[in-house]
Amino acid sequence: MGAEPAHPGAPSIRCTVQQNELLRMQPAGEGPQAHDRRRSQEQQLVDQVCAWIDMHLHEDIGWERLIRISGLQPKELQQLFQRHRKTTPMMYIRARLQSAPARKTG
């Protein structure tokens, strides 16, 4: 599968896959500073995915596409959204679509 096309002004989430690998490699008994750093990295990743969603809101954003652009496993993405946004990725998309102004056509 190819990479998502770059969008002018879009945050780069190409480094996201590398960040995800680092998140997975954290030791179970991490100290408070490592825990805070990990939470910050998770928040940054969720923020990047949300920014990508916002820029592609009027496109067909399916679960497979979210997984591909995030570099996460489905369960991981779901858990991070739940932890940092108190919602699921799909509920986030629905809420953004409802609050977004209608897109003009033609």
Asked if residues 72 and 49 have their Cβ atoms less than 8 Å apart, the reply is no
Domain segments of the chain as ranges: 16-22+33-99
For residue 67, what pLDDT is reported? 93
Q: What is the pLDDT averaged over residues 33-45?
A: 85
Which pair of tokens denotes residue 22? 């680092």
Q: Kindly report the number of other CB atoms within 10 A of residue 56's CB atom.
A: 16
Q: Give the C-alpha separation, 6 to 8, whole Å.
A: 7
> If you search the block for the tokens 């969603």, which residue do you land on?
53
Asked if residues 57 and 99 have their Cβ atoms less than 8 Å apart, the reply is no
Q: What is the pLDDT averaged over residues 24-51?
A: 79
